[in-house]
């Protein structure tokens, strides 16, 4: 059985084709600049390598057709017939309070996603466009939705209710929802394996750090607090998002710069974060290079981002009382030793002891690494996330009728014998170039 997963952003479409029976990725890729002009697809197929094809995609329907054409292409594709795809899983960023787990998409569910669009105006509309386009192109297979917010539906009320008029919550759903849930689910389950612990007796602080970033406090295997809020704007300093800030700034800047509320909101989402601080960079690698050359604002961006992360680790340590591990994931979390060093240095009193030599070796998306000292009470891991696998497994289980909320459901990657075949093969190749990587690969008890 082949399962296709789709993640539609406002101007992009990420996809993966997974063969369930052999547990392998057949193909994956990304269509960029959808709706913007100059669009193209970057495609990988097992045994056929990488391909880039320029193709205008004025909308997501055209982009999905391009994905299907590429998957079926005899030269670079992965399947011979569309009929080989038995289901499609879709990422949906915001499920509100309506969904605590993944669902098969019905017209009713799709209408609910549309109703929630006000809560995620930057994310749900492209998710919905992708779903509608894919259902039109592939009407005869089940389509499933995997919500980023579902993982956080276990948060207690005192963690998700704001100090605002309670009627705002009752009438408009104003509360903390949290995001990156699919990623947190994967790395939390894998961290429990690496610790040799029951996942529901494990306390973690997980840090998903990419262009978007959020922190998650996990007590006894379930989410109890997270840094993002009603929208993905709150919390950590991110690539282009401000994170935590004084809400009065919006009105202040409207008056000072004669801006509308929407214009200020756009600045907070798209022109703030490390981009706003440096004035030119979102890629942390560019920032680190500039800082090393003496650029003060780039160094300031590193210091601010690290400081905000430290504050959340401290706060969540107090929330959890006992922390078994700190987990870094996503692009920067997995491959950002300079930021990790800035975040974790000097936390010995919290039981967090960084082995900085191992930290700087730990730069890979193909292996789970451990870089705390041997006597550190709190383990420090970098665990490459795999949101596509979670989406695939949820979709398969929904088709089989045995899917349930994660506290009543076991994923394949919760087994100590689980192996990601593609990553394992890549890691063997990387050992040839960087043999010291073997020192930091986390052992499985």
Q: At 405, list the tokens.
A: 């909320």
Is 148 a catalytic site residue? yes
| Phi, psi for 390 (deg, rounded to 5) | -60, -45
| Phi, psi for 16 (deg, rounded to 5) | -150, 140
DSSP-based three-state secondary structure for 245? coil
Helix then strand then coil, % of the chain, to nearest 5: 45, 20, 35
Residue in 136, 144, 233, 219 with CA at minimum distance from that of residue 184: 219
Task: State the Cα torsion 291-292-296-298 to the nearest 10°.
Answer: 0
Query: Greatest CA span in the chain, whole angstroms?
Result: 60
Residue in 77, 17, 71, 66 with CA at minimum distance from that of residue 39: 66
Q: If residue 171 lies in a helix (H) or strand (E), which one and from where to where?
A: helix 166-172
Selecting among 73, 107, 118, 148, the annotated active-site residue is: 148
The runs of H, that is alpha helices, within 279-420 are 284-292, 296-320, 330-335, 337-344, 356-361, 387-400
Q: At 257, list the tokens.
A: 């710069």
> Which residues is 91 bridged to in the sheet?
146
- Residues with Cβ within 8 Å of 203's Cβ and at least 6 positions away in sequence, in order, are 218, 219, 220, 320, 321, 322, 323, 324
- The two beta strands, 24-32 and 40-45, are antiparallel
Q: Which residues are catalytic, by number? A: 148
């Amino acid at each position: 059985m082949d399962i296709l997963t789709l993640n539609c952003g406002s101007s992009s479409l990420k996809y993966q084709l997974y063969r369930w029976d052999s547990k392998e990725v057949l193909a994956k890729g990304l269509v960029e600049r959808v709706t913007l002009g100059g669009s193209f697809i970057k495609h990988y197929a097992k045994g056929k390598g990488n391909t880039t094809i320029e193709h205008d995609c004025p909308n997501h329907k055209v982009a999905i057709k391009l994905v299907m054409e590429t998957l079926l292409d005899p030269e670079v594709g992965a399947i011979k017939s569309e009929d080989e795809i038995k289901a499609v899983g879709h990422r949906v960023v915001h499920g509100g309070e309506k969904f605590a787990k993944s669902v098969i998409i019905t017209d009713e569910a799709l209408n609910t996603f549309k109703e929630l669009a006000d809560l995620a105006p930057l994310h749900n509309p492209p998710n919905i466009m992708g779903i509608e386009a894919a259902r039109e192109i592939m009407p005869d297979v089940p389509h499933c939705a995997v919500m980023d917010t579902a993982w956080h539906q276990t948060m207690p009320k005192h963690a998700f209710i704001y100090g605002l008029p309670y009627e705002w919550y009752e009438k408009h759903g104003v509360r903390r929802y949290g995001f990156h849930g699919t990623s947190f689910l994967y790395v939390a389950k894998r961290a429990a394996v690496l610790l040799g612990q029951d996942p529901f007796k494990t306390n973690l602080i997980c840090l998903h750090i990419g262009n978007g970033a959020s922190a998650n406090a996990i007590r006894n295997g379930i989410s109890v607090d997270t840094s993002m809020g009603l929208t993905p704007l709150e919390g950590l300093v991110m690539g282009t998002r401000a994170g935590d800030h004084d809400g009065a700034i919006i009105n202040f800047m409207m008056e000072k710069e004669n801006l509308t509320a929407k214009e200020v909101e756009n600045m907070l989402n798209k022109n703030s974060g490390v981009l706003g601080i440096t004035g030119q960079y979102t890629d942390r690698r560019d920032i680190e290079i500039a800082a090393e050359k003496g650029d003060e604002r780039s160094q300031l961006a590193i210091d601010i981002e690290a400081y905000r992360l430290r504050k959340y680790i401290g706060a969540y340590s107090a929330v959890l009382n006992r922390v078994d591990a700190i987990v870094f994931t996503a692009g920067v979390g997995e491959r950002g030793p300079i930021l990790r060093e800035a975040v974790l240095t000097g936390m010995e009193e919290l039981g967090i002891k960084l082995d900085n030599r191992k930290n700087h070796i730990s730069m890979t998306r193909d292996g789970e690494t451990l870089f705390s000292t041997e006597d550190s009470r709190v383990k420090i891991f970098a665990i490459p996330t795999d949101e596509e696998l979670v989406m695939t497994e949820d979709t398969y289980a929904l088709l089989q009728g045995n899917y349930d909320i994660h506290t009543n459901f076991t994923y394949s990657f919760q087994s100590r014998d689980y192996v990601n075949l593609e990553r394992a093969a890549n890691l063997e190749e990387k050992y040839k170039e960087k043999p010291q990587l073997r020192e930091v690969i986390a052992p499985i008890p």
